[in-house]
Amino acid sequence: MTAPFFLAADDAQRAAQDWYDWLAKEKRYSAHTLRAYGQDIAAYFTFLAEHLGGPAGLADLNTLRQADFRAYLNRRRQQGLSGTSLARALSALRGFHKRLNRDGLCDNAAISLLRTPKRPHSLPKPLAMQAALDVIDQAEAARDEPWQQARDAAILLLLYGAGLRLGEALGLNGRDKPKGDSLTVTGKGNKQRILPILPVVRAAIDDYAKLCPYAITAEGPLFFGARGKRLNPAIVQKAMRDARRALMLPETATPHALRHSFATHLLADGGDLRTIQELLGHASLSTTQRYTDVDAESLLRVYANAHPRNAAA
């Protein structure tokens, strides 16, 4: 896999390519993360070429000061990067310099003094239980072809009934089709997890498989697009967008909101955080803990609307 073009001296260019290959082959980062990290380091070297008056080499990287790193992050901020994207850019930069240090190519301690930009604290925005079911029915009914109706229902039920990410659902191959009460999913970082599958979800996948006009093979995609290739996420996103407009749901009603709904409804029904963390494939429990804030917020809303003293007021 080739990294994005880096405007750097030859030695830094080779080091950046080695780091990029290591992320892809050893760390097994997703294509999306690789692309983002590659773009961040490409932007870093582009900035340094302007900042230093020419392509930066490893010797230049070793002499950069804290002010230089801050100037780079400030440039990215001026280019419109959000707090979340800035935090990712700094993570890429730290990872690259950590790799250089480990390989004995560069040892610059100034980067460790930088503080991570604050990320906006946003809560997941799940759908109400009935709204989640309605949007699945609406998306299914909007198709003319029965096999596409069955496909869309199966995919959206996987998101809501098993908590999959859209990319995880569309990444399933024929061999992954559940034959019993569980499903093996490959998530971020190529980490696998085994999920329980509800009978209604398994039945929906079986219905789709029977109607699908394309041969579902072990190594081929489970979910096909109209032209016989692996289904593009944009097709599912459009189906969800059309369904939410028909049902007059907010713009936050996206495919990923079904995954949020899965976690929030499990928590509201007494599920514990550790179990939900495993089901969602979160590396950190702190990521899963956001759903406790959502649940508390919904409880307060119900309390405010239903408490007799509040109603009397």
Find the catalytic residue in 88, 99, 259, 265: 259
d(CA 249, CA 145): 25
- For 279-296, the pLDDT digits (tens) are 665 555 555 555 555 444
Torsion 229-235-237-239 (CA) sign: negative
Find the catalytic residue in 165, 202, 244, 265: 165
d(CA 157, CA 136): 7
- Label residue 298 left, alpha or beta by phi (over 0 means left) and psi (-120 to 50 means alpha): alpha
Question: Per mean pLDDT, which range of 23-37, 71-85, 149-163, 269-283 is the poorest?
Answer: 269-283
Residue 224 has pLDDT above 80, yes or no: yes
How far is Cα of residue 130 from the mean position of the Cα atoms in its chain?
25
Amino acid (one-letter) located at 70: R
Find the catalytic residue in 14, 125, 188, 241: 188
Tokens of residue 236, six digits: 């599912």
d(CA 66, CA 135): 50
d(CA 131, CA 155): 16
Average pLDDT, the chain: 81
Highest mean pLDDT among 23-37, 64-78, 83-97: 64-78
Report the pLDDT value the prediction gives residue 304, as an integer from 0 to 100.
Answer: 46
Question: Per mean pLDDT, which range of 9-13, 117-121, 297-301 is the poorest?
Answer: 297-301
Q: Is 102 a catalytic residue?
A: no
CB 218 within 8 A of CB 179: no
Report the pLDDT value the prediction gives residue 312, as an integer from 0 to 100.
Answer: 42
Q: Is 188 a catalytic residue?
A: yes
- DSSP assignment of 206-271: HHHHHH-SS---SSSBSSB-TTSSBPPHHHHHHHHHHHHHHHT--TT-SHHHHHHHHHHHHHHTT-
Q: Is 14 a catalytic residue?
A: no
Q: Do domains 10-113 and 132-305 have the same CATH topology?
A: no
Global pTM? 0.56
- For 296-307, the pLDDT digits (tens) are 444 444 334 443
**Can you give the residue ranges of every domain in the chain?**
10-113, 132-305
Q: Is 119 a catalytic residue?
A: no
Contacts of 41 (CB under 8 A, 6+ apart): 3, 4, 6, 16, 19, 20, 92, 93, 96
d(CA 276, CA 156): 19
Instruction: Give 79 or 305, the one with higher predicted confidence.
Output: 79
* Phi, psi of 185, rounded to the nearest 5 degrees: -120, 140
Say if residue 1 is exposed, middle or buried (CB neighbours under 10 Å; 0-12, 13-18, 19+): exposed
Mean of pLDDT values over 267-288: 57
Report the CATH fold assignment for 10-113: DNA polymerase; domain 1 (1.10.150)
The CB density around residue 17, as the number of other CB atoms within 10 Å, is 14
Find the catalytic residue in 29, 44, 72, 291: 291
Q: Is 245 a catalytic residue?
A: no
Name the CA radius of gyration of the chain, rounded.
23
Say which CATH superfamily domain 132-305 falls into: Intergrase catalytic core (1.10.443.10)
Mean of pLDDT values over 257-277: 68
Report the pLDDT value the prediction gives residue 104, as an integer from 0 to 100.
Answer: 92
Residue 97 has pLDDT above 50, yes or no: yes
Q: Is 282 a catalytic residue?
A: yes
d(CA 139, CA 154): 11
Instruction: Give 189 or 9, the one with higher predicted confidence.
Output: 9
Torsion 289-290-294-300 (CA) sign: positive
